[in-house]
Structure 1
Amino acid sequence: MAEPPTTPLLYEHPLSSYAQKVKIALREKGVAFRAELPEDFGTGQTGTPFAAANPRAEVPVLIDGEARVFESTVIMEYVEERWPDPPLLPREPAARAFARMTEDVCDTQYEAVNWGFGEVLWFRRAAGGLADRLRAQAAEQTRALQDWLAERLGGADWFGGDRFGWADAAAAPMVNRSVHYGLGPPAGGPLARWHARIKERPSIAETFAEFEGAAARMAASAELYKTGGRRREYRDHRLEWMVKSGGIEVVLAGLRDNNIRFPWPEASR
């Protein structure tokens, strides 16, 4: 007799926009899964199941039987192929490229702006005039990104046209975090109407509720990152955002205090 299939495990953090994207996809497809915040998340520990599954020590990671899949876009592709119904990617090559480009901008430029704003709001990396400048930069760049998304959405209900899809799952956590920060799209505009529409979907309502619950507890855990108990990852577009927006001294302070990290493999100190 064949053994029953195991329930996939998702290593995640409810605040991670990348993890939210994957959870939305799984829920849209009706895939039952277990969500777990790794105890060693952000600590740099090795020799743990989480570190073994992803040497980068980043969430999300999907464990499905023998498969160990990290990097949110690769996980999305795995989910689409493993559980093809209902499909999130459209069939036409041009429409697929449209969805993937939308996801890529959200995962790179948009996530970095949201992350940088959170460094000031939650983790108090800057104060006074520097904090004001970084918040102003984040607000200005958020408007530019939302204008770009609104133009891509046009008059359609969804980024995929007449049905919810891949690009909607990717954009939803980014725009919702901006709303949480008070940087939401203009009221009555296409992106604001889209945001109101997606919140009605059960997959997104559940994911957003988890985000809000974790955000309410963020101030209490922020001290761990100031003391070095955990270290925030300054990688690629995040590091670029902080430098180009005027926060180079934030990076230098993090290096001095050893409460930031760079991607694996890290340089010896």
Structure 2
Amino acid sequence: MENGEARTLLALPTFYLLAHQRTRAWRTHWVHRAAGGTAGGMLTLYDDVFSPYARKVRIALYEKGVAFERVRALHGDCNRTDFLHVNPRAEVPALVDGDIHLYDSTVICEYLEDRYPAPPIYPREPGARAQCRLLEDLADTQLDAALYAVVIVEMGRGEAHPAIREATGRDLLRLYDELERRAREPFFCGDFSVADMALAPHLMAAMFLGFPLDPSRHPKLTVWIDRVQARPSVARDNADVMETLQRLQAAGQPGFDPYRVQWRSDRLEWVMKNGLADWFMEEMRAGRVFFPLSLG
């Protein structure tokens, strides 16, 4: 693997269904048969290879050895009639298990834990379980929001925006400090858990984007990032990301469209609280913003 390819691999997991195109997409439909899985009553996962939320669910499935059929969408081509009945908001990941249709990565992971309790991906003790969920939430909200704008502007468009970079760096340092304070051995909740699955893609991407960990300030976090990337389930998913990236590069296709971007909830809050409202309004006037579909 070339150094440039490795760096791109680390960055791509931050992308969360950035494009929203109705043109022909790269779509793949295949089956993952994990050890211990069966073909009968197989789960179906709608996902995007680069979505950190979809990555969380895939890693959970790999950890539990559950077979699943995968319907993969690239370039945000998820507003399809075969998908909207699963998630009316047209967001990935979404899961089908017989008559059960689920969306939201947190809900899906909790369902998988109830449906396939071994091996567990949440601590058993209620207090520890709650702390694990808080770490997952921190990744899904604050880390995602802090990285979103800088990924679009710098990596997607190749542009500089000093105010966005400064705000991102300030927020990430705060989050690194908080994660260093909460870190345990060998993983965040003791055993490998959904907290690690949620945090890892964002932290790898932040490092690629020029926001490195300081080993002297964040020694536990520095050791953790190496340990989690060596985990077989994470390594397997990284390999999938790289294979997809190489296919896109060979075809001259981008990983996402930085000029047609989905915005919602914590991402919008981050923009506003960091004084970037004027930038966002210009994005809207230029037609570069869209929002998730409404329920109902």
- Shorter chain as denominator, the TM-score bin is 0.7 to 0.9
Q: Name the CA shift for 1:225/1:48 in 2 (closer, same or farther; >3 Å).
A: farther
Give the C-alpha shift of residue 127 in structure 1: 4.0
Alignment-derived partner of residue 30 in structure 2: none
Shift of 1:209: 3.0
Call closer, same or farther: CA 1:16–1:225 in 2, change over 3 Å: same
Q: Note the C-alpha offset of 1:4.
A: 5.5
Q: Which residue of 1 aligns with 2:275?
A: 246
Q: Does 1:17 align with 2:47?
A: no
For 1:4 and 1:215, the matched residues in 2 are separated by 28
Q: Distance in 1 between matches of 2:74 and 2:99?
A: 22
**Equivalent of residue 7 in structure 1, options 42, 54, 62:** 42
Shift of 1:220: 4.2
CA contact (8 A) 1:184 1:192 kept: no
- The separation in 2 between residues aligned to 1:223 and 1:203, in whole angstroms, is 25
- Relative to the length of structure 1, the TM-score reads 0.84
Query: What is aligned with 1:182?
Result: 210
Q: Distance in 1 between matches of 2:60 and 2:47?
A: 14
Residues 225 and 75 (structure 1), Cα distance of their counterparts in 2 relative to 1, 3 Å cut: same
RMSD after superposition = 2.6
Contact 2:49 2:74 survives alignment (8 Å)? no
- The 5 A counterparts of 1:23-102 are 23-38=58-73, 41=76, 45=79, 48-102=81-135
Is residue 2:145 matched to residue 1:145? no
Q: Equivalent residue for 1:168?
A: 196
Is 2:75–2:255's contact at 8 Å kept on the other side of the alignment?
no
Q: Greater shift after overlay, 15-24 or 246-255? A: 246-255
Q: CA deviation at 1:214?
A: 5.2
2:180 and 2:201 map into 1 onto residues whose CA distance is 15
Percent identical residues:
35
Deviation at 1:40, TM superposition (A): 7.6
Structure 1 residue 213: deviation in Å?
Answer: 5.0
C-alpha distance in structure 2 between counterparts of 1:223 and 1:191, whole Å: 29
Does structure 1 conserve the Cα–Cα contact (< 8 Å) formed by 2:75 and 2:256?
Answer: no
1:49 offset after TM fit, Å?
1.0
Matched, 1:236 2:265: yes
Shift of 1:34: 2.9
> How many angstroms does 1:225 deviate by?
4.5
Cα offsets for 1:70-92 (capped at 9, x unmatched): 01100011111111100111111
- Is residue 114 from structure 1 mapped to residue 144 from structure 2 by the alignment? no
Task: Provide TM-score, normalisation by structure 2.
Answer: 0.77
Preserved contact between residue 245 and residue 255 of structure 2 (Cα < 8 Å):
no
Matched, 1:203 2:233: yes
